[in-house]
Amino acid sequence: QERLAYMLEDSAPVALLTQTGMQERLPAAAEAGLAIPVLLLDGEEDGAAMARQASHNPEPAQLGLTARHLAYVIYTSGSTGMPKGVMNQHRGVVNRLLWAQNEYCLRSDDRVLQKTPFSFDVSVWEFFLPLLAGAQIVMARPEGHKDPQYLATVIDRARITMAHFVPSMLQIFLNQADTEKCHALRRVLCSGEALSHSLQTQFHAYLPAIELHNLYGPTEAAIDVTSWHCKHGRYAGIVPIGRPIANTQLYILDAHLQPVPVGVTGEIYIGGAGVARGYLNRAELTAERFLPDPFSAQAEARLYKSGDLGRWLADGNIAYVGRNDFQVKIRGFRIELGEIEARLAACEGVRAAIVIAREDQPGDKRLVAYVIAQAGAEEGALSATNLREQLSASLAEYMVPSAFVTLDAFPLTANGKLDRKALPAPDKSAVVSRAYEAPQGAIEEALAQIWQDLLGLAQIGRHDHFFEMGGHSLMVVTLIERLRQQGWSVEVRSVFTAPTLAAL
């Protein structure tokens, strides 16, 4: 209710379209102090009034309409906790639709599955591309986009030829649905999250005759700005986001807004027809994220500062690296989580991987990895011991996660995207464990108690490894101080060379 009230107040619509069953959610409008006409689509009086409206399109010239008028405002989450409205213009949306028709060549016998909630911009092309092409729209039931079995049935019975999946949902669909029902499906589009190489491989194994396309684009740039046709074996270990679509420019720039060389990671800036007007009623944020385009001869041209990281590949395609706000700093080290995730996903037995920085105890930020096993993975392949050993061969010690949590599936948000906030805290099974042998003697027992306090563990054996159990360089300093308080003198390097109770 609070979110609805805010969006109504912020957008100040001239009318509100709803249904009788949704009216109970409308007190938010009154709370916002707005007098908005409410039209009931299923109401007898309003329905009759709408039926009397003209059935033909108005003449744009007579109304003074141009391609730069707003097509829609879609709200996305904001860093302040309140959503921000993104103002997209007709020219950007139409450019995206015309490019898609030119790229995919929809025909009158195509059937497009419309399953994305219309509060997300993927729904825009799901609605309007088939209308533009003279194809057919098949609308999924409400919440149907979350049910893989239902989607497989609809794809089968309606003979769907084109559908979109967020990668997280595509993974679930491939694992749980009967993909043999996709006999009419010709093309699947993916966007909204990074598409992993392992998921691309699985898709081609399950649905070898169906095209897979990876698209990239923020809400602030009319749905999608790049496209890549995923073909098996084109790249090892990555799935590019491809090249810019028509009338769109992408730049990968450094902190000084200078282009970076091929292969070097920088921030993605977007220019061209699809760039939104800005954020509704957020002039300061608009000025911060929508900048004058120094590469364009047009005075009004702007670049959208995406916050996404990417790098040019040698053939002119772009590889998505991650969000710049997924870059974390732990114990003085700047770490890009995407790099660790890529290494982890390449480990034997790992189907998918996510790495986050957790601070379950104030002041103790640690890297925690979450993994999903491949089908048929050997027992113990995803043990903390095995994964840590593999990562240690390719990553610096400070980049190796302290804990490894195995999950059956990653938690998802209401719209099917990964919900990082819902990832569980690790328990003792998530850290490297060794055969337990009780501490021997008063010194080892006292050391074990200090380690337990620092590491937050209930039990420490005499052969447990301080760093494998989650210890780190800053924690060593605290350990040394605690030992000194007990009257013991130990050098920092001694903990690194003798990291077990027995050795220390």
Rounded CA-CA distance 230/227 in Å is 9
Candidate ranges 63-77, 98-112, 319-333, 402-416; pick with highest mean pLDDT: 98-112
Rounded CA-CA distance 230/201 in Å is 10
Q: Between β-strands 350-361 and 364-373, what pairing exists: parallel, antiparallel or unpaired?
A: antiparallel
pLDDT tens, 373-418? 998 888 888 988 899 889 888 777 778 898 899 999 999 888 788 8
Kindly tell me if the per-residue pLDDT of 457 is higher than 80.
Answer: no
Question: pLDDT at position 363, please?
Answer: 64
Candidate ranges 58-72, 94-108, 479-493; pick with highest mean pLDDT: 94-108
pLDDT band at 1 (very low <50, low <70, confident <90, very high): low
Question: pLDDT at position 434, please?
Answer: 63
Q: What does the domain layout of the chain look like in residue ranges? A: 1-50, 87-320, 333-430, 441-497
Helices (H), 359-491: 384-392, 441-455, 473-485
pLDDT band at 450 (very low <50, low <70, confident <90, very high): confident
Lowest mean pLDDT among 85-94, 385-394, 426-435: 426-435
Q: What is the CATH number of domain 441-497?
A: 1.10.1200.10
* 111: helix, strand or coil: strand
Kindly tell me if the per-residue pLDDT of 484 is higher than 60.
Answer: yes
Degrees, nearest 5: CA angle 217-219-224:
30
Rounded CA-CA distance 156/319 in Å is 34
Rounded CA-CA distance 211/98 in Å is 20
Kindly tell me if the per-residue pLDDT of 287 is higher than 70.
Answer: yes
Candidate ranges 135-144, 168-177, 487-496; pick with highest mean pLDDT: 135-144
For every residue of 353-381, DSSP letters joined together read EEEEEEEEETTEEEEEEEEEEPTTPPTTT
pLDDT band at 362 (very low <50, low <70, confident <90, very high): low
Rounded CA-CA distance 4/326 in Å is 29
**Nearest CA-CA partner of 399 in 472, 292, 290:** 472
Query: What is the rounded average pLDDT for all residues in the chain?
Result: 87
**Nearest CA-CA partner of 375 in 353, 403, 408, 343:** 408
Say yes or no: do domains 333-430 and 441-497 share a fold. no
pLDDT band at 482 (very low <50, low <70, confident <90, very high): confident
Integer CA distances (angstroms), 93 to 87, 125, 221, in order: 11, 8, 9
Name the pTM for this structure: 0.72
Mean pLDDT of 315-329: 84
Q: What is the CATH number of domain 333-430?
A: 3.30.300.30
Integer CA distances (angstroms), 306 to 81, 123, 226, 250, 404, in order: 19, 21, 13, 10, 31
Question: pLDDT at position 303, please?
Answer: 98
Which token pair is 377? 């993975």
Kindly tell me if the per-residue pLDDT of 79 is higher than 60.
Answer: no
pLDDT band at 254 (very low <50, low <70, confident <90, very high): very high
Residue 85: partners with Cβ closer than 8 Å, 6 or more residues away: 7, 10, 11, 73, 74, 75, 279, 280, 281, 282
**Nearest CA-CA partner of 499 in 437, 470, 404:** 470
Kindly tell me if the per-residue pLDDT of 225 is higher than 90.
Answer: yes
**Nearest CA-CA partner of 338 in 324, 359, 317:** 324
Candidate ranges 207-216, 346-355, 437-446, 472-481; pick with highest mean pLDDT: 207-216
Any idea of the CA torsion for 101, 105, 110, 111, to the nearest 10 degrees?
Answer: -30
Rounded CA-CA distance 271/248 in Å is 6
Rounded CA-CA distance 206/191 in Å is 19
Question: pLDDT at position 255, please?
Answer: 92
Q: Between β-strands 302-312 and 290-292, what pairing exists: parallel, antiparallel or unpaired?
A: antiparallel
Lowest mean pLDDT among 31-40, 318-327, 481-490: 31-40
Q: Name the CATH code of domain 87-320 (choices 3.40.50.12780, 3.80.30.20, 3.40.50.720, 1.20.1560.10).
A: 3.40.50.12780
**Nearest CA-CA partner of 410 in 164, 168, 166:** 168
**CA dihedral sign, ordered 301, 307, 308, 313:** positive
Mean pLDDT of 279-295: 96
Rounded CA-CA distance 368/470 in Å is 10
Residue with tokens 């409400």: 142
Q: What percent of the chain is predicted at pLDDT more than 90? A: 47
- 362-379: burial string, b at 16+ Cβ within 10 Å, e else: eebbbbbbbbbbbeebee
